[in-house]
Structure 1
């Protein structure tokens, strides 16, 4: 006979309608029993009744909780003690405890109501809100949920109280009975069957390890609805918990299962999204192998219980419980996502993420051997490679759907008895462009083409052999026709059917359920074809290890994008590719206007490196031709070129040339500008984003003018016309004080501030003033130059001026180290007063050839025209986005030199710095590389390769729209 609990027993109670007291009646009880005049706002609850109590000024004073009459006072007392215990154990967390009387005892009352005696409490109000709703949860927020759950689990371990002796429908130890009892209430037979079948499988999985699952006191409801946040600048940080109404004793791991299940209904969430919470929980309260085995089946059971309970509660309350009714769709989404990946796969994924050893995978235990008849010479079989490091995927060949077939047949035509693609190595040929989720790139078996027809069979072992054709149809007898793709897998005979290609996030799980057919055929003894073999399921861990190695050997000050960056080892046009085959749209890389992996540039440089690469003191043609063509692109009278290695060196040399030409040392620059890292280029850089101490550490020969920013500078809109005369006046003041400037240096388009055009006529007036004082005008074209503005090749053309010196880099070599200074023959000659100039690799044969290849591509591929056309299209779409999202304060720029500025208030222009960083992080998960810029780091730096297409522009805007809709 089952022991009857001392407290509530769900299975004995039958229906459990929630209290539904009128608001006025509850307010009267609060006035009588607590002496408070309050206004009550109804809060949702599945089985209780809750109100937010506010005073006459609208300030919250607490939460009134009316406990369902089915629960005893001793159970309520256990809840209060559990809350106090967690508050004491984790003082940094905010815990909603019951208000206490003068002696410190939690104060609960039993009031006579229109529905009979009901227990009521006034709980502490915790400001900040919860994670309720479907908005996207960041990995940091999810991790913090796991951390809070870990703290609760640790605090409640060892807690005992008679009020824990209860049977709740939410206690997953009873999930099988709950589903069996309530499933009949689900109105949809097909959904009902899905729930009951999934619950039965999950229950069997849990029962296999149930004897090894520790039992303790648990909160049992640490969901997004009950996790309280501190919200700063739109970023939610979970730091507290409420609602201890479900406190009981259960499997300890249930605490985590319930928490992570609540993540699944949020925008963009999927099973892998919960891993940050699992890691955070495990770091505080380690999970045993048995708990790892049970965790995901418990998530499935939680989803099943939510679905059947929600439908049941809606029927009980006859439509009066809006909270329960609103939850039906949410609860189905949790269940649907929980079962979207088999529990065995998620268990292995979780174990891999935690480095917890489970029992041996099939690959170690199957001991299967495959035979082919009439047979092949395995040693002569050719292993194909379509991973991201393979030469065969160069120049975008991976986008050809026939690539694998072409490579295989070429190998057979060359005499190979078989050609094959290995298991576990991500295939770039399977990836996709413009995808918000990773593609199925990791093979769970091998693909093989036989020169002659073969019969494939398994000998011994426990694995199930699956042979499929190229279309995925089963070849039941294992008869593989000649020169035809066959997909071979060795699967766990008792496990789920395995897809041939899986997403990298889940590859560790799927691969654990398979063995390698190549080994069973005698093909796989020589080691993997790719250095990245079998990293598909561990790409994040591999990337983290590489960051750790980088940090040990690479100076820390040389930062990397993102806190947890993917490992990028290939690029093509405006796309970058991670080692797991995930393709990202690169919308920030203005270093490569031709795009990544440009075949013409690669071929030209490779040929030159095979032929000659030395310094520019030797006499060879490439340096002459490149200098001639570069000088021809500059307006008269600029006709003389210096070649260097980078933009920093170009601006440094431009400043030194000006000093030599004028015999002066003072230089005028602009605030919020960045010009480089060398001594002189850094000296005139004032961007506090790049150097927080910039304004306090400039040398005395640098004089910074106000940033001529018409959007958020000291003069805005029409008032921006004041910048130029004020700058000219300052230059005249310097000259009058016997410190006439050698030069004025400025970006010709205010790039570092976010792609903002200078006010009309600004450079004309300032250039005139500096020349009047005998100085030179230096145009920093490192970012704006080379056609990025679309209509103009040089940024200064947009201002209708000609500088005395141009500094250019970045685009000049498409990522190959190349920069240049262009000036007049007369000014260049004056540098002789400083001795001679020399750059070992600036103007080398290889760098000169790279520069020529870039200019050829600009001409042949009409990149400047694309910058104009696609840039205008992209800006138009971004401006339309700004009409719907108030966070966008402005869209700046021209061509493909754009900035999207985020503000918290369009009137005050308060910069949305933290939001911008979080938006960039979310965009990465959706397949877009983007970074912030500007002194406030609140502007998206939209400067993609100039080959970017309209399709890519659409994908970027669509993903940004999604982030702004769903959250970050």
Structure 2
């Protein structure tokens, strides 16, 4: 038990009950006027043991408005001494000086420089009253979601305070607070009886006792210093820039004292745990940020999570005490009871020893270094974290000195054992086989039937068969042990005294004598003595390094393999390490202009239909990948292309059937008189060739295009691309032969709503002006739907007006169908059909090959012949046997799998749900599009249409956490690009909408 010293200041254990002051607001107003000459109005603010008001000027600039903030009036609990208040003021000033980038709430000063601090005679006796600086921006108070960036900044703020106060000494620090975790055991012991729920009371006391015992192992090695001790979400102040709030200040120095330095961080991260979506690993950004500025010792790493548990326990019992003391009058304390219980629940949801190893792996710290622990056993030379497609490497364990052995009775010829593989790289999980709940069993029984004496699944390799679709949280995919099927009944035992051998049936029930029935799955684990009483067989990847650190590999103990990985697995798992390492390698070798989605992207190595799978087995719903209408991993396409690659793959100058058949079928899909096909390898090449065909056919070089449009990366396709989302300098760098006209955007363009009908005639007039000036255009090029702008339909009649004008000038009309074509709109196969027109040239790609390099230009025989007069055309992969077979297979799948009909039906359903969402969330300005070519546009104000750019990026990041792949589009990057594979189901549409609703409700 901790024992408080004879404190000079407040001593919680001697003070007894500590009711907060409750002065009437008008009395406080009078004191402020009398002592400081300020005429203010007061708004009550929450406090556990003090009384706080926000003071505003008594006059407002306009009727109905509140006055400007003057400061925060703090009425300190009379139990605290003048020395303690002085220490608080000095601590605030010290941090303000050491960290000028932070805003610090120091005591306000009058014009003559004197602090606004008095001890006033009040109706409750003498009370210390101060006016503290008001810091605008608000705190993180409330249940809203906190992003990793916000949590990281909280860790930085705590580190700044810790560094600034490291050498601070003051007699006012000599106090004993109930919030000082050095006395947490006594606080819980003293107050636990006040909790009205016996079951919860027992849970709190048991957890606190266990955490206190863990803490005592390192307590003597924890450095002491002055600490703020209350840098929680309530006391961290934020600045909001362009819709995103980030902590940059601190308030409320009422708990400044001398304590364990690491308690500063423990209290900060504990306050994260009650927020929406928060769980223990959510605090990692703060821990990393704190450690980067103020490194944690091994002892502090070991103490950190026990301190979080103790903080949660203290909050629970203290909250119940305060509610009873104040008789329900303290709304702040009463509202906090549920919040404090959630903090405690999250703190105890993962054992401290596991979280310690999670921290150690994240920080690269050996938790056994220093402190009162045995030397660590050397860990395998694996990078802590998740290896690509292979094992999760544990943090360094701190226990077993010799490798344990497991005996099998009767003995088995282990050289004939079969290691099963259901990782994301295994061929056995192809074609969605991983969704079959019986796949493990079928593979094992097939191995036994083939003569293997045992089949087994290894430890630490994420199992795709354990994952799940449409899940806002990652699944438990990482095994702490192995799964074994024996051909004959086999007894599993060990004589090793340092580990616990656990043999379980598939349902988790322990097989007491260790005898596993024949052909039955058994789960075998080796658990260290310091492992928690219950070790899950499968755990989530985020916490796997912690759990693996308290277990050993039974396969090694049996003799199935040594400490290293099997050769086949080693070749893959040691080449990539985790997602962050792979990004670092990419940045060193890959031109950085080739961007990647997300700042910290997961490593994706498998896809199936509308799902993508990370190397940890996390399954994401892909709502953005319009390159693959058939979905990912389509078995028919894979088989057809593989067969063709085994047979022949050359270029289109040779005579073979696939190129002819594909060209015929593609031409048949185009309206008359379009009957001639050029095959290319990409959308950029298709639009480039379409422009060159038009120039050759007309003998001209001028082209009219739309603003906000994107057509590709080749010279010609980039020249007519004007989207500043892809090229910030697009408008300033167009060649003189490109003539952009206004984007026909009826939502935020120059003409809106009904006025959008003016776009067509105005564009036609511009074309006629060019012709009259002696520069008649070779072509007008546009997407049939404004893809980069967010899937915005053109105004009715737009293309009819413009096509008529360009043809009057003997130019050609080019429809870029790279994104909108191929049935994505549902009702129409080609986007231009929605406008009731027929272009002279069609450019298509993306969907044509389902991601295989294939594109096409479709035009008339006459126009194609004019291009022929200028020379030969050739594309190495466009029209190759493999790409032609890919194109044919895609067309077959469209026909056989009803993809265009699904685009219409599921697209209409999805748009309806998104529009319903817009009725409840004002951030949604409009839902654009048709079929499965949709865009959700976010605005900060529906009247001004100010783009919510930063919010859109943050929303996409939060959706990724919840299992949805989504990206922004549009010149303002404020539109969700909703263009999923055309196989997307209503179930997937519902999951996307539900997750978007959750983000818009909880925050981002």
Q: TM bucket by the smaller chain? A: over 0.9
Q: Is the aligned partner of 1:238 residue 2:274? A: no
Secondary structure in structure 1 of the residue aligned to 2:793? coil
Match of 1:192 among 201, 224, 243: 201
Question: Offset at 1:365?
Answer: 3.0
> Is the 2:400–2:528 Cα contact (8 Å) retained in structure 1?
no
Rounded Cα–Cα distance in structure 2 between residues aligned with 1:269 and 1:460: 40
Q: Is the aligned partner of 1:436 residue 2:438? A: no
Q: How does 1:796-815 map to 2 (within 5 A)?
A: 796-815=832-851
Question: Offset at 1:364?
Answer: 5.3
Question: Offset at 1:493?
Answer: 2.8
> Is the 2:400–2:498 Cα contact (8 Å) retained in structure 1?
no
Q: Is the aligned partner of 1:507 residue 2:544? A: yes
Q: How does 1:387-398 map to 2 (within 5 A)?
A: 387-398=423-434
> Is the 2:531–2:551 Cα contact (8 Å) retained in structure 1?
no
Structure 1 equivalent of residue 391 of structure 2: none
Question: Offset at 1:527?
Answer: 4.7
Rounded Cα–Cα distance in structure 2 between residues aligned with 1:729 and 1:839: 37
Match of 2:919 among 883, 902, 920: 883
Match of 1:654 among 690, 703, 714: 690
Question: Offset at 1:907?
Answer: 1.1
Rounded Cα–Cα distance in structure 2 between residues aligned with 1:559 and 1:181: 57
Structure 2 equivalent of residue 341 of structure 1: 350
Secondary structure in structure 2 of the residue aligned to 1:369? coil
Q: Is the aligned partner of 1:268 residue 2:277? A: yes
> Is the 1:7–1:71 Cα contact (8 Å) retained in structure 2?
yes
Rounded Cα–Cα distance in structure 1 between residues aligned with 2:297 and 2:80: 33
Give the number of equivalent residue pairs: 967
Q: Is the aligned partner of 1:489 residue 2:491? A: no
Structure 1 equivalent of residue 53 of structure 2: 51
Deviations 1:596-627 (A, max 9, x none): 00000000000001011111111111111111
Structure 2 equivalent of residue 608 of structure 1: 644
Deviations 1:202-231 (A, max 9, x none): 001111100000000000000000000001
Structure 1 residue runs of 4 or more that deviate by more than 4 Å after TM superposition: 101-105, 529-536, 538-541
Q: Is the aligned partner of 1:480 residue 2:480? A: no
Secondary structure in structure 2 of the residue aligned to 1:584? strand
Structure 1 equivalent of residue 417 of structure 2: 381
Match of 1:780 among 802, 805, 816: 816
> Is the 1:362–1:514 Cα contact (8 Å) retained in structure 2?
no
> Is the 2:576–2:582 Cα contact (8 Å) retained in structure 1?
no
Q: Is the aligned partner of 1:963 residue 2:972? A: no
Rounded Cα–Cα distance in structure 2 between residues aligned with 1:105 and 1:335: 43
Rounded Cα–Cα distance in structure 2 between residues aligned with 1:43 and 1:585: 43
Rounded Cα–Cα distance in structure 1 between residues aligned with 2:448 and 2:281: 40
> Is the 2:746–2:752 Cα contact (8 Å) retained in structure 1?
yes
Structure 1 equivalent of residue 229 of structure 2: 220
Deviations 1:481-522 (A, max 9, x none): 111100000002342121000000000000001000000000
Secondary structure in structure 2 of the residue aligned to 1:455? strand
Q: Is the aligned partner of 1:517 residue 2:526? A: no
Question: Offset at 1:525?
Answer: 2.9
Question: Offset at 1:441?
Answer: 0.2
Secondary structure in structure 1 of the residue aligned to 2:762? helix
Structure 2 equivalent of residue 22 of structure 1: 24
Match of 1:642 among 654, 658, 678: 678
Rounded Cα–Cα distance in structure 2 between residues aligned with 1:714 and 1:731: 19
Match of 1:542 among 561, 575, 578: 578
Question: Offset at 1:459?
Answer: 2.6
Gaps of 5+ in 2: 61-66, 369-375, 377-396
Secondary structure in structure 2 of the residue aligned to 1:365? coil
Deviations 1:376-434 (A, max 9, x none): 11111000000000000000000000000000000000011110000000000000000
Rounded Cα–Cα distance in structure 1 between residues aligned with 2:660 and 2:20: 86
Match of 2:150 among 141, 149, 162: 141
Secondary structure in structure 2 of the residue aligned to 1:33? helix
CA RMSD of aligned residues (A): 1.5
Question: Offset at 1:90?
Answer: 0.3
Secondary structure in structure 2 of the residue aligned to 1:753? coil
Q: Is the aligned partner of 1:948 residue 2:957? A: no
Rounded Cα–Cα distance in structure 2 between residues aligned with 1:710 and 1:803: 23
Match of 1:320 among 314, 329, 341: 329
Question: Offset at 1:39?
Answer: 0.3
Match of 1:117 among 108, 126, 140: 126
> Is the 1:418–1:449 Cα contact (8 Å) retained in structure 2?
yes
Secondary structure in structure 1 of the residue aligned to 2:524? strand
Match of 1:627 among 663, 677, 701: 663
> Is the 1:147–1:280 Cα contact (8 Å) retained in structure 2?
yes
Match of 2:311 among 273, 295, 302: 302
Secondary structure in structure 2 of the residue aligned to 1:459? coil
Rounded Cα–Cα distance in structure 2 between residues aligned with 1:679 and 1:244: 61
Structure 1 equivalent of residue 92 of structure 2: 83
Rounded Cα–Cα distance in structure 2 between residues aligned with 1:461 and 1:692: 66
Deviations 1:789-820 (A, max 9, x none): 00000000011110000000000000001110
Deviations 1:156-193 (A, max 9, x none): 00100000000000000000000000001001100000
Gaps of 5+ in 1: none
Rounded Cα–Cα distance in structure 1 between residues aligned with 2:966 and 2:158: 33
Question: Offset at 1:358?
Answer: 2.2
Question: Offset at 1:731?
Answer: 0.2
Q: Is the aligned partner of 1:933 residue 2:969? A: yes
> Is the 1:231–1:237 Cα contact (8 Å) retained in structure 2?
yes
Question: Offset at 1:524?
Answer: 1.9
Deviations 1:526-566 (A, max 9, x none): 95369778999x99971010001000000000000000000
Secondary structure in structure 2 of the residue aligned to 1:292? helix
Question: Offset at 1:275?
Answer: 0.1
> Is the 2:11–2:177 Cα contact (8 Å) retained in structure 1?
yes
Deviations 1:752-779 (A, max 9, x none): 1101110001001100100110100000
The range that moved more, 360-369 or 669-678, is 360-369
Q: Is the aligned partner of 1:277 residue 2:286? A: yes
Rounded Cα–Cα distance in structure 2 between residues aligned with 1:733 and 1:448: 78
Question: Offset at 1:461?
Answer: 4.7
Q: Is the aligned partner of 1:160 residue 2:169? A: yes
Deviations 1:562-611 (A, max 9, x none): 00000000000000000000000000000000000000000000000101
Rounded Cα–Cα distance in structure 1 between residues aligned with 2:570 and 2:93: 51
Rounded Cα–Cα distance in structure 2 between residues aligned with 1:652 and 1:944: 26
Rounded Cα–Cα distance in structure 1 between residues aligned with 2:285 and 2:730: 37
TM-score (norm 1): 0.99
Secondary structure in structure 1 of the residue aligned to 2:262? helix
Structure 1 equivalent of residue 191 of structure 2: 182
Secondary structure in structure 1 of the residue aligned to 2:704? strand
Rounded Cα–Cα distance in structure 2 between residues aligned with 1:526 and 1:381: 17
Rounded Cα–Cα distance in structure 2 between residues aligned with 1:92 and 1:535: 46
Match of 2:950 among 890, 914, 917: 914
Question: Offset at 1:833?
Answer: 2.9
Rounded Cα–Cα distance in structure 1 between residues aligned with 2:14 and 2:914: 59
Secondary structure in structure 1 of the residue aligned to 2:792? coil
> Is the 1:108–1:121 Cα contact (8 Å) retained in structure 2?
yes
Secondary structure in structure 2 of the residue aligned to 1:834? coil
Secondary structure in structure 1 of the residue aligned to 2:995? helix
Question: Offset at 1:467?
Answer: 0.4
> Is the 1:933–1:941 Cα contact (8 Å) retained in structure 2?
yes
Question: Offset at 1:869?
Answer: 0.4
Deviations 1:860-890 (A, max 9, x none): 0000000000000000100100010010000
Q: Is the aligned partner of 1:849 residue 2:885? A: yes
Pick closer, same or farther for the CA change 1:781–1:684 going to 2, 3 Å: same
